[in-house]
Every structure is written in structure tokens, then in C-alpha cells.
């Protein structure tokens, strides 16, 4: 029988890698005769969590091949700022990716190449080789509506987005203020802006776009995509909603994890879980406000805290000197809240925690993976966006899907203790919170139905993969 292969090429960031790997698992589970190869780019920054995740998957799912691309020498003038890293590194790897695809093609028929939008540079490679090329948009249908509409915004406005101070009326989503657009899009002449435009254009010309969402979650956005209204200038390629594609929470031993053991002792739906993703780092001043707000709210809490950056610096705390919690939390906070709260450093098993019966609320940075995990678990959210497309996600989660409440933020993103207290208490006890709690339980049911046999996401998956397994094609 003819050997057939599907090649997946994710961005190395853990938030993009996890859903791509979950897609690979889905392909293998339903079509074990298809070979699945995932190209892994070595990133020039700390990727401990990424390496650990890949190692775990390699052990549990050995049928998926991780092809680690070789380390390359970067040009002397290469900028290692994120906006260049995201799109620039895949462009440097194009010759290597070309050779790998040719080598695979010599032994197997490549039925599809699936790109992340950050690996868009490889589109020219796969199309040159006449390979069916798909994109996996790791966000939701609403985000895809905005993304595909970017060329229209470009052609109908002038100047930088951050200076417009207007609302964009984009089909399928609530009105989006220019300040809520990702900062990488703020400067029209920047490389990141130009790369986003190229990616949006290429996605419109692809064999199809895979979306990490499901029909019942974002109904207006899904209808817009399916009706072709998201790209006024031309037809929308086939859209496949396969979500929720999220990591499972059953790989943690509850008897050995301190967070889960502590949750076992708490009343049902009584704990607010605070976690802000792998890059969610706050300054000391903000951490103190969170602590004061939590204590005043009177709610039980489980809070994952990362080291604050050194005074006067921004960005990740990775690599900074490890500090004690008492060094940046209010004096006596841990002792006063010992009966109601638990603070852990750096990491906690988020999917398992969200799935625990004691958890009744989630203060989140609005990363799409985390949002989907909360939806599946039926845990309502306090939306606290930090970076990337998270302000857009806040708009969808609060205004459109109605599974979150938004915390009050200053223009520079600072949140006061009073705002923390207000929204945490509202989520757990208030009328607005009650509506959101009921709504997310409904969405949780829809999410589980979507991935069940015969569910919408499984039907969409069959539409996507049928050409890959049909012997007549």
C-alpha cells in the first residue's frame, strides 16, 4: 500500500506547539496508516517546558515523529526581538525545510503540509513543491475573522493602527477598538506588520484553514467564515473547526501533586484559580495588588506566581535570581491566608486543576488554549489580558461568548487591588457571575458533544482528512 505522510510545522512556542501536537494525535488515532511528522525548530531562547512536553509525547505516542531541525548560524544583523524571531527564524529555515520535504517525498506521498501562521515563510516552499498546504490557526473562529480581515483594514485605513483610536466593524465579531489589536500590528512599516499581511494573504490562498474551536462556541464567527464574508475581496478557503484541541489533565498523579491534594480538602466550586500562562510575569507592585485584592475578596484561591523581573526591567523572569514569596508579597499575607489560599511558584498542572471539582473560577490572561481548557471544564473566567492577541480574546470571551467578566485595567494594563477584589467576588458570588457560570456550563456541554462520535468537530475532521486517505485521489 502507498505510504502517505502529513507534515506539521508549528511555531516552537508551547502555546502553538501543544494544539498542533494534539492535532497530530487526532490524525494518528483515526488514521493510523498515515505517517505524521512534526518539524521542530530549535529556538534561541529558553524552551525547557517545550522540550519536556516533546519528550513526554515522544514516549506516550511514539508513532508521531518529531523531526528536529538542525541548529543554524544566524546572520550578524539578525534581530532577536520577538517580532523578528516569530517570522524571521522560519524564513531562515526555508532551504532546510525544502530539503526535508523533498526527502520525505522520495519515500512517501505527502498528502498535506500544515503550517502555523508564524511558519508562514514555508508556504512558498510547499507551493513550489506542489504540496497541498493548510494553515492551523491556533486561536478561535473569532480571531480568524479578524486575521483574515487585516488586508481589508490595511486597504481602507491609513497610518498606524495604534494612532487611529477607532472601532473596527469586522464581520463575525463585536466592534474591536484599535488599541485592542496585537501590538505587532501597531506600526504599518514594521516587519511584523508586513509579515501578518503576507500570512493573511497566503491563508486565503491555502488548501484550507484548521481552527481550534467548535461550531457551538462562536456561532456568529463560524457563520461568517462558512459564508465567505470574512474576505470581501475573494473566496474564503475551506474552514475546518476541529476543537477543542487541548492537552489532557490526566497525566498528573493527584496523590503526588500538592495543588491537587490541597484542592481535595476544599468545598466544591469554592476556589478561584489564578494563572497567567508561560509568559505571564508581573512586577512586584502588581503582585502586591493581586494579593491584597484576593485577601479582601474573602474567596478561597490557588495562585500560580512567577518571579517578578528585576527592578527597572520588563519581560520574562526566566534566568533571574530565584526569590522567596515573602520578598514580593505583602507582609504576613501567606500566614493570614493559610486557611483559605495556596500560592505556588512558577508552575501548576493547569488542565488537572481546572478539571477539579473544588475550582469555581479562573483568573486568566485569555490565552486561547487556557480559555478552551476552562470552557471544557466549565469554569468561568475573569479576563485579564497581557500580550499578543489576548485583548481580542477578551472581547470574544466577554461580549460574544459570554463566559467571562472583564477586570478593570488602567491604560497601561495595571490592575488595582480593588479591581481584583471586585471581579473575583463578582465571579464567585454576584449576579453577573451567576449568568457567566450558567453560560459556561452550557458551553462545556457543547464542547464535549463536539468531539464525541458524530459531533461537529469529528464531522469536520472527516471532511479534512478524507482526501488524505481516499485511494482514488
For the residues 227-246, what does the mean pLDDT come to? Answer: 85
Residue 255 has pLDDT above 90, yes or no: no
Residue 430 CB neighbours (<10 A):
16
Of the candidates 368, 355, 369, 376, the one whose C-alpha atom is nearest the C-alpha of residue 259 is: 355
Residue 79: all three cell numbers together: 534581530
Is residue 302 within 8 A of residue 273, CB to CB? The reply is: yes
Phi-psi label, residue 56: left if phi above 0, alpha if psi -120 to 50, beta otherwise:
alpha
Tens digit of each residue's pLDDT (9 = 90 or more) over 118-129: 999 999 999 999
289-302 per-position pLDDT tens digit:
999 999 999 999 99
**3-state DSSP percent of the chain in helix, strand and coil, to 5:** 45, 15, 40
pLDDT digits (tens, 9 = 90+) for 122-180: 999 999 999 999 999 999 999 999 999 999 999 999 999 989 999 999 999 999 999 99
Contact indicator for 95, 124 with CB cutoff of 8 Å: no
Residue 254 has pLDDT above 90, yes or no: no
pLDDT of residue 390: 97
Q: Is a pLDDT exceeding 50 seen at residue 353?
A: yes
For residue 317, the model assigns a pLDDT of 46
**pLDDT grade for 371, boundaries at 50, 70 and 90:** very high
Kindly report the average pLDDT of the chain as a whole number. 92
What confidence score (pLDDT) does residue 318 get? Answer: 44
C-alpha 76/C-alpha 73 separation (Å) is 9
CB 394 within 8 A of CB 174: no
- Cα separation, 112 vs 27, whole angstroms: 12
Q: What spatial distance separates the first Cα and last Cα of the chain, rounded to whole Å?
A: 14
**pLDDT (tens digit per residue) in 35-82:** 999 999 987 765 567 888 888 888 888 889 999 999 999 999 888 877
The Cα-based distances of 226 to 96, 206, 220, 241, 278 in angstroms read 35, 15, 10, 10, 33
CA distances from 2 to 112, 355, 379, 467 (A): 15, 42, 46, 14
Residues 473, 224, 456: CA angle, nearest 5 degrees: 55
88-137 per-position pLDDT tens digit? 999 999 999 999 999 999 999 999 999 999 999 999 999 999 999 999 99
Looking at residue 444, the DSSP 8-state letter turns out to be H
In residues, how long is the chain? Answer: 473
- E-strand stretches of 139-294: 167-168, 176-177, 208-211, 239-241, 271-275
Chain segment 324-348, per-residue pLDDT in tens: 888 889 999 999 999 999 999 999 9
User: Domains of the chain (ranges plus CATH)?
Assistant: 4-247+450-469 (3.40.50.2000), 258-448 (3.40.50.2000)
Percent of the chain with pLDDT strictly greater than 90 = 79
Residue 167 backbone dihedrals phi, psi, to 5 degrees: -95, 135
pLDDT band at 319 (very low <50, low <70, confident <90, very high): very low
pLDDT of residue 64: 94
Q: Which residues contact 208 (CB under 8 A, 6 or more apart)?
A: 134, 135, 237, 238, 239, 240, 464
Q: Can you give the pLDDT at residue 472?
A: 52
- Report whether pLDDT(231) > 80: no
What's the confidence (pLDDT) of residue 2?
A: 77
pLDDT at 473: 44
- pLDDT of the residue at 362: 98
Q: Is the pLDDT of residue 448 over 80?
A: yes
With 0.85 as the threshold, say if the pTM is over it.
yes
Nearest-angstrom CA–CA distance, 349 and 259: 8
Amino acid at each position: 500500500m502507498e505510504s502517505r505522510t502529513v507534515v506539521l510545522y508549528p511555531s516552537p512556542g508551547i502555546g502553538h506547539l501543544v494544539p498542533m501536537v494534539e492535532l497530530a494525535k487526532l490524525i494518528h488515532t483515526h488514521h493510523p496508516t498515515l505517517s505524521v511528522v512534526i518539524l521542530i525548530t530549535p529556538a534561541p531562547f529558553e524552551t525547557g517546558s517545550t522540550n519536556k512536553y516533546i519528550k513526554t509525547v515522544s514516549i506516550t505516542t511514539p508513532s508521531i515523529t518529531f523531526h528536529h531541525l538542525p541548529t543554524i548560524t544566524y546572520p550578524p544583523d539578525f534581530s532577536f526581538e520577538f517580532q523578528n524571531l516569530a517570522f524571521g527564524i522560519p524564513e531562515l529555515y526555508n532551504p532546510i525545510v525544502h530539503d526535508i520535504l523533498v526527502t520525505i517525498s522520495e519515500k512517501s506521498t505527502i498528502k498535506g503540509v500544515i503550517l502555523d501562521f508564524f511558519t508562514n515563510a514555508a508556504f512558498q516552499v510547499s507551493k513550489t513543491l506542489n504540496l497541498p498546504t493548510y494553515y492551523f490557526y491556533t486561536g478561535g473562529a473569532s480571531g480568524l475573522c479578524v486575521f483574515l480581515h487585516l488586508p481589508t483594514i490595511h486597504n481602507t485605513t491609513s497610518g498606524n493602527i495604534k494612532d487611529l483610536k477607532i472601532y473596527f466593524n469586522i464581520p463575525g465579531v463585536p466592534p474591536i477598538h484599535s488599541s485592542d489589536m496585537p501590538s505587532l500590528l501597531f506600526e504599518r512599516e514594521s516587519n511584523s506588520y508586513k509579515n501578518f499581511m503576507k500570512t493573511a494573504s497566503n491563508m486565503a490562498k491555502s488548501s484550507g484553514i484548521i481552527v481550534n474551536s467548535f461550531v457551538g462556541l462562536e456561532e456568529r464567527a463560524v457563520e461568517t467564515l462558512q459564508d465567505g464574508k470574512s474576505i470581501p475581496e475573494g473566496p474564503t478557503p475551506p474552514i475546518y473547526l476541529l476543537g477543542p484541541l487541548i492537552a489532557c489533565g490526566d497525566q498528573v498523579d493527584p496523590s503526588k501533586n500538592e495543588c491537587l491534594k490541597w484542592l481535595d480538602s476544599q468545598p466544591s466550586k469554592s476556589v478561584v484559580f489564578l494563572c497567567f500562562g508561560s509568559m505571564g510575569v508581573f512586577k512586584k507592585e502588581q503582585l502586591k495588588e493581586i494579593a491584597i485584592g484576593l485577601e479582601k475578596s474573602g474567596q478561597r484561591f490557588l495562585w500560580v506566581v512567577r518571579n517578578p523581573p528585576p527592578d527597572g526591567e520588563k519581560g520574562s523572569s526566566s534566568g533571574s535570581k530565584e526569590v522567596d514569596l515573602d520578598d514580593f508579597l505583602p507582609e504576613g499575607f501567606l500566614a493570614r491566608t493559610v486557611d483559605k489560599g495556596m500560592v505556588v511558584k512558577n508552575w501548576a498542572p493547569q488542565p488537572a486543576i481546572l478539571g477539579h471539582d473544588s475550582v469555581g473560577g479562573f483568573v486568566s490572561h485569555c490565552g486561547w488554549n487556557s480559555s478552551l481548557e476552562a470552557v471544557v471544564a466549565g469554569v468561568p473566567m475573569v479576563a485579564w489580558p497581557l500580550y499578543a492577541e489576548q485583548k481580542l480574546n477578551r472581547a470574544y470571551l466577554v461580549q460574544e461568548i459570554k463566559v467571562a467578566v472583564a477586570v478593570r485595567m488602567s491604560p497601561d494594563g495595571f490592575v488595582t487591588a480593588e479591581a481584583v477584589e471586585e471581579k473575583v467576588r463578582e465571579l464567585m458570588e454576584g449576579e453577573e457571575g451567576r449568568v457567566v457560570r450558567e453560560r459556561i456550563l452550557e458551553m462545556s456541554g457543547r464542547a464535549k458533544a463536539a468531539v464525541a462520535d458524530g459531533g461537529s468537530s469529528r464531522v469536520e475532521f472527516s471532511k479534512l482528512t478524507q482526501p488524505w486517505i481516499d485511494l482514488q485521489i
